[in-house]
Amino acid sequence: MNAIISATELASELAGGTPPVLLDVRWQQGGPSGPAEYATGHLPGAVYVDLDADLAGPAGSGGRHPLPDPEDFAAAMRAAGVSKDRAVVVYDGGQGWGAARAWWLLRWAGHEDVRALDGGLAAWRAAGGELTDEEPAPKPGDFTAAPGAVPVLTADEAAALARRGVLLDARAAERYRGEVEPIDPVAGHIPGARSAPTVENVASDGRFRSAAELAERFSALGAAPGAEVGVYCGSGVSAAHEVLALAVAGVPAALYVGSWSEWSGDASRPVATGPEAG
């Protein structure tokens, strides 16, 4: 099954007899309020999901966006109308990172039919899709969490993977090199990780590059089909978008959820700087 869906394909499915559940996951680090943006206009029938409250546990030693409690996550999804046998489409209003986090978590929790709207809200509007400010009252779903359907990495597992396989750092290249660190306590990267900024997976319109283009990009980084691949970022959000891009390219990948926010919070862990994997 495809991991993404186009705006025209989504419009067709929404007009069908069993439309997918729509989740609006607008979120941006330090950006505008997701609930406020949702209130001004969203896809008809879409339910807002709060990334910080519903798609992550409390920040702490496990990072800024650790895994949520499975039962809490499942309850939030049921309240949004998610059921195990009904398709789900997630979208956001900007980078695609919030939507990718929801896509990845639902897959991790065992939902088998989840796709992200390619290009998000902008692609929907460009295709002539309408928005509404009416907030739906979804019928509660029956989704239950079965964690572990897709692979995750601990800090130690990420370090080991960087040595024996391919660990991609999805943050901006200057953060990888250790030139700047606007959020976390230490600048640099996990030794052995390779720089692969998430922003390079999309075209100027916010849609993913073609599967062939993505496959070529990741192959050049060593992340080809058959390779053991993992991804991390600052807190496991933009890395989920990279895992999604890898899925489009046909390359399964594990996510280090704690990411740099967990790694850099432990002074005993090594840190590399500079443009090379180190």
**For position 9, what pLDDT does the model report?**
97
- Asked if the domains 4-126 and 152-263 are classified in one and the same CATH topology, the answer is yes
Domains of the chain by residue range: 4-126, 152-263
Angle subtended at Cα 75 by Cα 143 and Cα 170, rounded to the nearest 5 degrees:
85
**For position 107, what pLDDT does the model report?**
98
**For position 27, what pLDDT does the model report?**
87
CB count in 10 Å sphere of residue 142: 12
**Is the Cβ–Cβ distance between 147 and 108 less than 8 Å?**
yes
| Catalytic one of 168, 233, 240, 277 | 233
CATH class held by domain 152-263? alpha beta
Catalytic residue status for 233: yes
Strand duo 152-153 + 254-256: pairing: parallel
Order of strands across the sheet that contains 229-232: 152-153, 254-256, 229-232, 166-169, 194-195
Beta strands in the chain (DSSP E): 4-5, 21-24, 47-48, 88-91, 114-117, 152-153, 166-169, 194-195, 229-232, 254-256
> How far is it, in rounded angstroms, from Cα 55 to Cα 78?
13
Handedness of CA 175, 181, 183, 189 (dihedral sign): positive
Q: Which of 275, 272, 196, 277 is nearest to 233 (CA)?
A: 196
> How far is it, in rounded angstroms, from Cα 207 to Cα 226?
26
Which amino acid type is present at position 180? V
**For position 32, what pLDDT does the model report?**
64
**For position 29, what pLDDT does the model report?**
73
What is the mean pLDDT for each group of 10 consecutive residues in the chain (278 residues)? 94 95 89 84 97 96 97 98 97 93 98 98 96 96 97 98 98 97 96 98 96 98 97 98 98 98 97 91
**Is the Cβ–Cβ distance between 165 and 223 less than 8 Å?**
no
| CATH architecture for residues 4-126 | 3-Layer(aba) Sandwich (3.40)
**For position 30, what pLDDT does the model report?**
66
